[in-house]
Structures are given as C-alpha cells and as structure tokens.
Amino acid sequence: MRESLATSPAPVTARALLTDAPAALGLTVVAGAPGLGRPITHPRIQKSGLALAGHMVGVVPSRLQILGETELSFLETLPPDERARRVRSFFALGLCGVVVTRGVPPLEVLVDAADTLEVPLLSAAERSSGTIAGLHAVLDRLLAPRSSMHGVLVEVHGLGLLLVGPSGIGKSECALVVVERGHLLVADDRVDLVRVGDRAIGSAPMLLRHHLEIRGLGILNVRDLFGATAVRDESAVDLLIELRSMGEGDAEIDRLGLDDETTEILGLAIPTLRIPVHPGRDMGVLLEVAARNQLLRRAGHHSARAFAGRLAAGLGLKEG
C-alpha cells in the first residue's frame, strides 16, 4: 500500500446543517440565532427527556438535542416556574442546538431560554423518527473525514477513475478524451474527497464544477459543450491511475498486472495503476480498458493471474 493522503476534520455548525438538510425536514430557526456558529462534533442526536426531568448526566453539549411530542407534553405538566428553571438549566449546558419536531410551535419558555443563552432553537416539520433519521444522514456526511487533492476525476463504465500525476502530464486531456467517448467528468484540477461508509466520494469545488482546463483551448464548460449527460456532481473513487512520462520510474510499473497495488485515501485502500503516457498512445482506450478490467477483478476474474496459472501449469511449475 502506498502512502496515505492527509485528512482534515470538517467543522460543522447548526448554520451548516440548515444549508445541507433536505427540504423535506423543514428545518428553520426559531430563536437563538447568534449561537448558530456553535460546533456540532457528534453525528448522532440525543433525546433530552431525562435532562428535562432534572437528570443532566450524560448530556453531550456538542450533540444536537431533540424535543419531541413526549418531551413537550412533559414540560406542559410542570408549574411555570419549575418549567422555566429546568429549561434554563438544560440550555445553560452550552448546547450546540435544540430541535423541536412535528412543526409544533416551541413553548415560549424554550424561545426565551434560547434567545437569552444564544442556543440555536430549530423547528423541524417531520415527526421525531423522521427528523432523527434525516439529521443522522446529514451529519454522517458533514462530519465524515475529508481531504482534497490535485487530480482529475472521471466516471468510466460506472467506475470513478481518479487521475493523478505531475502538472502537464495530460490528466485534463485524458478527461476530455473519455468525455468525448461518452463518459462523465466529475472534477478537474482539484478533487474534494469525503469518506461515506466504505467509499471515498469525490466532487469538484462549486466554482470549478463542470469545467475543464485544456492547454491551448482554455477553460471549457463541459456541460455546455457535451450536454448535461456528460457531467456528474460526484462519484465514488474506485480506481486511482497515476500517469507518468514514458521512461519515468519504469521499474515501478507492473508490466504483468499480477500485483494489486493500492493507495490509502481517507483510510480506504483504493486500487492503483501506473500508466506511462507518450504521444500517440490512445489514453481513451487505455482508461476504458482499465475500468473494464477493474470490473472483472471485482467479479473475481483476474486475467493476469489466470494467465500466470495456465502458464505455470503448462510448464509443469507450481503456481506462486
């Protein structure tokens, strides 16, 4: 396995959550707007019933707190003074955010505490179960390990190919060739990576999305040139291909394809190939074949090893 790429934690706040949460959640700010910059560091929310009952042990301020129908109905059973005291004690823990579900207007005591202590108080249209599921999905992605790297990401035969190599080696030209052959551009120049489960997902920064820089032609809008079906906003990174000048590091290039080399990206082992580049070499065909061969390997058919096995058997040698 080759060296790993550096990762960096993603800072997440209630403000970022409002931007990324799906519209179906109906997430809006009710009170405590000055606290929208408080950090959220945990991908799982916390139900706050015990805290409202006076048991504050276990409350993690950097986790979003959920108040559903049960919690609100409990608060309404309390005398006004006691209700205000418990809510204030809860909010005084320095919470990163409190979400009231079912689109119910929050109790005035919650609004007052949120504004006084600058704790974001949010309202969600969904019931508690749907809100929790939706918030978990958003937070899983926002808090996932992230990294960025110089390269080009294209999708060929459904596989994400991450092209890396020195500046001027022809990464963008390779992308243009495969797009012209009917495949998809995801990112050029800078690829932003995020780990989602057991996959590394790559995308382009918003300002660079759908654009490709080709020396001599300038900056091209691939979507305008080839249509909406020629681009994707993101793709999994299934295969890393390092482009090299012909003759550079020839000893490191696997001529038989027997070894399964990988590069660590965000803690994941990404299959890796080194392909030499020189004038006249049809890189479009090579990248298509690399993708097809990777699909075969995923299906359990390793052409090079199968050939080596037949060769060894024909020579009367033991394989391996």
Instruction: Give me the residue label for tokens 């990248």.
Output: 287
pLDDT of residue 93: 96
How many angstroms from the chain centroid is the CA of residue 76? 41
Mean pLDDT of the residues in the chain: 90
Per-residue confidence (pLDDT) for residue 253, from 0 to 100: 66
Instruction: Look up residue 232 and give its DSSP letter.
Output: -
Residue range 156-192, pLDDT digits in tens: 999 999 999 999 899 999 999 999 999 999 999 999 9
Q: Count CA within 13 A, CB hemisphere, residue 211.
A: 11
pLDDT at residue 4, rounded to an integer: 45
Query: What are phi and psi for residue 30, nearest 5 degrees?
Result: -100, -40
- Res 248: pLDDT: 61
- Residue 301 pLDDT greater than 90, yes or no: no
Tell me, what's the pLDDT at 314?
A: 80
Q: Are 60 and 51 in contact (CB under 8 A)?
A: no
Provide the whole-model pTM: 0.74
- Catalytic residues, which ones? 150, 171, 189, 255
Q: What is the mean predicted confidence (pLDDT) over 70-96? A: 95
**Residue 3: what pLDDT?**
46
What is the token pair recorded at 105? Answer: 């207007």
Residue in the block written with tokens 């700010």: 29
- Judged against a pLDDT cut of 60, whether residue 8 lies above it is answered with no
Tell how strand 65-67 and strand 46-47 pair up: parallel
Tens-digit pLDDT profile for residues 105-146: 899 999 999 999 999 999 999 999 999 999 998 998 888 888
pLDDT for position 252? 63
Q: Round the CA-based radius of gyration of the chain to a whole number and report it.
A: 26
- Report the largest interatomic distance among the alpha carbons of the chain, rounded to a whole angstrom: 91
| pLDDT score, position 250 | 58
Got the DSSP string for 163-226? EE-STTSSHHHHHHHHHHTT-EEEESSEEEEEEETTEEEEE--GGGTTEEEETTTEEEEHHHHH
Task: Report how far Cα 142 is from the mean position of its chain's Cα atoms.
Answer: 8
Give how far Cα 64 sits from Cα of 47, 90, 98, 198, 275, Å: 9, 13, 6, 25, 47
Going by pLDDT thresholds of 50, 70 and 90, the confidence category of residue 315 is confident
Domains of the chain with bracketed CATH = 14-142 (3.40.1390.20), 146-301 (3.40.50.300)
* Percentage with pLDDT > 90 across the chain: 70
Q: What is the per-residue pLDDT across 230-282, written as a single tens digit (0 to 9) for each?
A: 999 999 999 999 999 876 655 566 666 677 899 999 999 999 999 998 888 89
CA dist., res. 244 & res. 288, Å (int): 18
**Residue 215 reports pLDDT greater than 60:** yes
Of 94 and 105, more confident: 94
pLDDT at 311: 78
22-44 pLDDT per residue, tens: 888 999 999 999 999 999 999 99
